[in-house]
Structure 1
Amino acid sequence: MSSPVLDLISSFVFIDRTSIQPIYLQVAQQVINAVQRGYLLVGAKLPGTRALSEALQVHRKTVIAIYNELDAQGWVEVMPNKGTFIVNQSHQMKIDKPYQKLVSLAKYPDRTGFLFRQSPVLDNPFESSDCRLIFNDGQPDIRLTQMQHLSRCYSASMKRKHNLRRLTRYQAEGSEYFRSQLSNYLNFSRGLHISKSNLLITRSVEMSLYIISQILLSKGDHVLVGDLSMFSANMVFQKMGARVLTVPVDERGMDIDYIRTHFNPGQVRMVYLTSHHHYPTTVTLSAQRRIALLQLAQEYGFVIVEDDYDYDFQYEQTAVMPLASGDVDGMVVYIGSFGKSLAPAFRTGFVVAPDNLIAEMRKYLSIIDQQGDVIMEQALAEMIAEGEIHRHLKKSLKIYRERRNLFCEILDTCFSDIVTFEKPSGGLALWTTWDKSLSLFQLANLCRNQELFIPKNILYQNSTLSAMRLGFGHLNENEIEEALMVLRRGVEKIS
């Protein structure tokens, strides 16, 4: 005749006979969990070895091994001629009564049993889809990445003894060799005048912004951003408790005169902008406004955070230098992503700032990323030193320019009645303004049924605006033509 304890154990024990973990350990762990959760009370007598072996359909020696394991860990006490009993291991845990509802011990709790702060500000704005064709906000084509060369550099770095020794040490400041090569690269390509001491190596632009916000922002500080602006940056600022205010953006970029006429000295803590290609509209901050912003920062005392998220993708002969290249008062913190043209796993973020700020930022980086990625940084440094990054970017730019031109040609030919746009001088996306009578969200739903995914984060539609930021870089020529034809058919269905 079965006992209540035997029936209880039989109800919650699950044995995975395909697992590499021994059966006796599987059962022992589940019995321990049952004691911890109050299903098996302290003092309860466990079934005999024969009865339990029959109930679980395992060998009696397996049950003996289960009980030996429980005894070794201090969860049971074997009393000669009486049996095996559950004991209180800590002698502090007191369970007055078992839980009334038995929950599967193989399932982890769905919710915490305690309260914690939740942040709707940090809700993930990105969507995913299995559609064959996808528009994004302007990402590179990882198919163009020279994976063989990258993997060769990475493999060679792994084999070097001096690199292996570095893996055992904390490298919060990043690879010295990489910082030297990257500073040289930025000086050459972007007109900066920095040394390796002016660089902080991070995992991403978002990590860079988070550390900057931790140091430079306090609750209630005013942060000015463009209208519209980079949503991920706004999330970081709002999470810090800053008050995010918008500044108009026109065909010449952020309106600097608006800042002067609407704010007083000391009232603004930070101005965040994407000066090279404003996100999402892709316009470039004019030379006159660049000078005006640098002067205003020095006069008003605010920090300029310049996010140069796609500087590498410039299609015209004349390159526009970043604000940081003309900063002589130490008012600009320059951030970017090195290796944007490579696969995401090979990219890294960086911050350029005066020495004293970089030294403080390293303290925060050492908390959240103490080790860094020494091997990856070494591989990237070698690609800079060998000129491979420059050669790869030169080849990629030619392809991206052709894709931009094709994308614009098709829009001119097939969408001229409902779409207006300016051909961007760089970047991997177009800012397209649509006929306000069209519902862009309805259009996106129709296209999804035709294997074209248009995520919500690239749609901008309200009472005054109807626009889409359409990335073209990740699509080859055939994919561009097919995606835009699906988009056109969708327009015809809802018109």
Structure 2
Amino acid sequence: MDSPIVKGVFSRMKLNPEDTRAIYLQLSDGILTLIKNGHLKTGQRLPSTRDVASLLKINRITVAKAFEELQMQGWLESFVGRGTFVSLHIPELEPKNLQNTPINKAQKTAGFTLNEKQHLSNPYFVPTTEFHLDDGYPDPKLAPLKELYRAYRNQLTRGGLYHKFGSYSFPDGSEFYKEAISHYLNETRGLKTTQKNILSVRGTLMGINLICTALINPGDVVVSGIPGWQRSEHNFVHAKAKHIGIPVDEHGLVVDELKKICKRRKVRMVYVTPHHHYPTTVSLRIDRRLELLQLANEYGFIIFEDDYDFDFHYNRRPLLPLASANENGMVIYCGSFSKSFSPAFRMGYLAASENVIKHLANVRVLLDRQGDHILDNAMAELINDGTIQRYLRRTLTVYEERRDYFCNLLQSELGNVVNFSIPDGGMTVWTEFDKSTNLIKLSRKAYNKGLYISDGIVHQYPTYNNNGIRLGFASCSTNDLTKSVEILKGLV
């Protein structure tokens, strides 16, 4: 005879017909919870399928399917003429309080300790406001999405399916993509590369992480400018490197300070954004570029050149990257299409000496076997047929107009409370507010009014507090820029 206690346990189960999970799976989950919490003992007989169906007011076949599911998993055993029992192979467990044990409980806290560190606390926020003066993103409405769709579809429909989909390929990227990127960098940036100098990555951040994993050892000194990009700095810290920040002025990284450090200790790598320093957008002056290269040759450190927005320069032709003068193989060049195309598409590249690329590819396998060769090949098609070049020429004009319009607005409407320089390129204006302006409060109030701006926290350092934020203009129409500045003016 079935135990009335066991029947009572079953009768307290709550099944939800509105749930997307099938009823029989909800029931099997519930029985499994009772076993794990010690309310159904090893060897204990379960009520019949007819009784369970009657108790829960469900179909008997549903109960039979739930029992069968748990039998296949080894939790239950069924014997002809005797019934269904909890498996004898399960150890005895002390019963836990049923009131605190829901049938489907999502785990919130792990049973093991986490090695949580401050630099790993990277809260991210996705704004949903109508208006946004962001970190400097492109306008997706201008991107050649139809052309990318067509190129991606071509990759799926052409021949050679086994080599595309049936096996793994090169960890450093597809031959087609590397060849296209090499030619593109040589033509547009004056680099001297072949496909053996190129490695495909999923954006700049992956490139930085890969470099830190492959080339930085605990205790190595890594130098970068302050203020800088904290995501990169967190990677340095995570690699257990000694991160040293040096000042950035109106001419970029203060290379004289780097020279002083080099005389005192061994520097392993210098991270720099020479085209438009992040976050202040200033360009590294030519004499400092040459001195930085000379110091790298003299002291043997790596230059990691993050060239995140080379394609957008308005007043004149941009200075060529440090990598274009990389005679002794000291520069690792990193670029991506996130700023020029869309942050949603994770496509980037590293350019370095052949032996460095080979080493990075070997390390990359530990993290990501090969990346997305289909998407890379689609982008390579757009490079080879000139789509990307035409897109960049067209958007350069649009973004320059938006820059000028936005800077005029800032000066006329907020000139008494902000200080800024018109950037030579890029998609954002580094804007310093009056010290009396609390940027954290301002960003909250602006958000409540439908405008997203940064609160500036990520640009603050113990040695730097200029009350500045990046105000991106490229992703906004002139009408949106007008309304955004109107909101700010009403709050400041």
Name the TM tier (shorter chain). Answer: over 0.9
Amino acid in structure 1 at the alignment position of 2:324: S
Partner of 2:437: 438
Deviation at 1:98, TM superposition (A): 1.9
Pair 114,196 (structure 1): closer, same or farther in 2 beyond 3 Å: same
**Aligned residues, how many?**
487
* Offset of residue 69 of structure 1: 4.1
Distance 1:163 1:383, change over 3 A: farther
- Structure 1 residue 441: Cα displacement: 1.8
> Is 1:120 aligned with 2:115?
no
How many Å separate the matches in 2 of 1:259 and 1:362? 30
1: distance between equivalents of 2:295 and 2:65? 76
Superposed displacement of residue 99, structure 1: 2.0
Contact 1:415 1:488 in 2 (8 A): yes
Contact 2:428 2:471 in 1 (8 A): yes
Aligned counterparts of 1:149 and 1:81: Cα–Cα separation in 2:
67
Q: Which residue of 1 aligns with 2:473?
A: 472
Amino acid at match of 1:129: P
TM-score, L = length of structure 2: 0.93
Distance change >3 Å, CA 346–CA 127, structure 1 → 2: closer
Instruction: Tell me if the contact between 2:37 and 2:94 (Cα under 8 Å) persists in the aligned partners.
Output: no
Aligned to 2:34: 34
Alpha-carbon distance in 2 for matches of 1:448, 1:196:
46
Amino acid corresponding to residue 221 of structure 1 in structure 2: D
What does residue 335 of structure 2 align with? 336
Normalising by the residue count of structure 1, what TM-score does the alignment of the two structures yield?
Answer: 0.93
Distance in 2 of aligned mates of 1:68 and 1:386: 58
Q: Tell me how far apart the structure 1 counterparts of residues 257 and 19 of structure 2 sit (CA, whole Å).
A: 68
Q: How does 1:28-107 map to 2 (within 5 A)?
A: 28-79=28-79, 82-88=82-88, 91=89, 93-101=90-98, 102-107=100-105
What is the SS of the residue equivalent to 1:420? strand
User: For the structure 1 residues 127 and 70, does the alpha-carbon distance in structure 2 shift closer, same or farther, using more than 3 Å as the test?
Assistant: closer
Does the CA-based 8 Å contact 1:138-1:473 persist in structure 2? yes
Mapped partners of 1:107, 1:168: distance in 2: 38
**Counterpart-to-counterpart distance in 2, 1:71 and 1:261:** 71
Question: Once the 2 structures are TM-superposed, how far is the Cα of residue 49 of structure 1 from its aligned partner?
Answer: 2.7
CA contact (8 A) 1:459 1:467 kept: no
| Contact 1:126–1:455 (8 Å) recurs in 2 | no
Query: Is contact 1:200-1:362 (8 Å) kept?
Result: yes
Deviation at 1:434, TM superposition (A): 1.7
CA distance in 2, matches of 1:280, 1:364: 30
Task: Note the residue ranges of structure 2 that are not aligned, 5 or more in a row.
Answer: none
- Quickly say closer, same or farther: Cα 1:230–1:99, change in 2 above 3 A: same
List per-residue Cα deviations over 1:267-302 (Å, max 9, x = no partner): 211111101000111110011001101111111121
Percent pairwise identity: 36
Q: What does the per-residue CA deviation read over 1:240-266, in whole Å, with 9 as the maximum and x for residues that have no partner?
A: 111211111111111111122244265
- Match runs of 1:80-479 below 5 Å: 82-88=82-88, 91=89, 93-101=90-98, 102-163=100-161, 165-171=163-169, 172-264=171-263, 266-338=265-337, 340-457=339-456, 460=459, 464-479=465-480
CA contact (8 A) 1:163 1:375 kept: no
TM-aligned CA deviation for residue 364 of structure 1: 1.6
Distance 2:74 2:250 in 1: 73
CA distances 1:349-406 after superposition (whole Å, capped 9, x unpaired): 1111101111010012122221421211111111111101000010011000000000
Structure 1 residues without counterparts, runs of 5 or longer: none
Root mean square deviation of aligned Cα: 2.2
Letter in 2 for 1:467: G
